[in-house]
């Protein structure tokens, strides 16, 4: 019976390696998104002399939005692999935050990045507010505030969970921040 239990545990633990396909897929998606970013950048460069200030700001916000999304994907790939699949071998100095982001911190960072992306999108909407109805503006603001409250709740839960485990969460984390 013990051998059967050990065999099942080996299969369950080995199944974590299936996550590698997801992380590789995210890496491929990131490469495709980089092409989209380059297209946006090229479009901005070609039109920069004919854009007014508002359109220039909107284009730059779109580039910032893309950079935040790309950073989020990299953070999820590296932290997810490190937390769920395997520790990275001896990469001292390359990525100083490697191994410092646990699952709870990753959730908070993802939520914070979503709030930042939502903020940029909302700013873009407000800069083009004539294209939106009052109801649309209200709902976009409510949705954004929902993201903010969710991120704050995740941070609070992560903090109290860390305190409940006897550890004290650092106020400032060495992990990547977006």
- For the chain, the 3-state helix, strand and coil shares in percent, each to the nearest 5, are 80, 0, 20
Across 83-94, average pLDDT: 71
In a domain, 155, yes or no: yes
In a domain, 38, yes or no: yes
In a domain, 120, yes or no: yes
> Assign residue 173 a region: left if phi > 0, alpha if psi is -120 to 50, beta otherwise?
beta
In a domain, 100, yes or no: yes
Distance CA 176, CA 135 (A): 36
Band (95; pLDDT cuts 50, 70, 90): low
Q: How far is CA 158 from CA 55, 85, 177, in A?
A: 39, 22, 16
pLDDT for 3-58, tens place per residue?
Answer: 999 999 999 988 989 999 999 999 999 999 999 999 999 999 999 999 988 889 98
Across 138-149, average pLDDT: 94
Residues with Cβ < 8 Å from 19, sequence gap 6 or more? Answer: 80, 81, 84, 85
Mean predicted lDDT score pLDDT of the chain: 84
**Structural domain of 45:** 18-164
Distance CA 87, CA 15 (A): 16
Band (70; pLDDT cuts 50, 70, 90): very high
In a domain, 95, yes or no: yes
Distance CA 177, CA 170 (A): 14
Residue that is written with structure tokens 């999108």 in the block? 121
In a domain, 174, yes or no: no
In a domain, 107, yes or no: yes
Number of domains into which the chain is organized: 1
Q: What is the CA radius of gyration of the chain?
A: 21
Q: What is the pLDDT of residue 34?
A: 97
In a domain, 103, yes or no: yes
Q: Which of 161, 158, 171 is nearest to 110 (CA)?
A: 158
């Amino acid at each position: 019976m013990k051998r059967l239990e050990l065999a099942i545990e080996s299969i369950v633990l080995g199944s974590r390696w299936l996550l590698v396909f997801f992380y590789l897929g995210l890496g491929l998606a990131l490469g495709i998104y980089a092409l989209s970013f380059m297209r946006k950048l090229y479009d901005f460069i070609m039109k920069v002399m004919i854009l007014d200030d508002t359109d220039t700001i909107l284009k730059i916000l779109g580039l910032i939005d893309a950079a935040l999304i790309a950073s989020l994907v990299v953070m999820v790939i590296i932290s997810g692999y490190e937390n769920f699949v395997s520790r990275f071998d001896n990469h001292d100095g390359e990525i100083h935050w490697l191994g410092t982001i646990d699952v709870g911190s990753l959730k908070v960072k993802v939520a914070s990045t979503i709030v930042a992306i939502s903020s940029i999108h909302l700013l873009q909407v407000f800069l083009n507010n004539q294209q939106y109805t009052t109801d649309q503006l209200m709902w976009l603001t409510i949705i954004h505030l929902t993201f903010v409250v969710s991120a704050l709740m995740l941070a609070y839960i992560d903090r109290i969970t860390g305190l409940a485990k006897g550890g004290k969460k650092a106020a400032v984390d060495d992990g990547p921040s977006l």
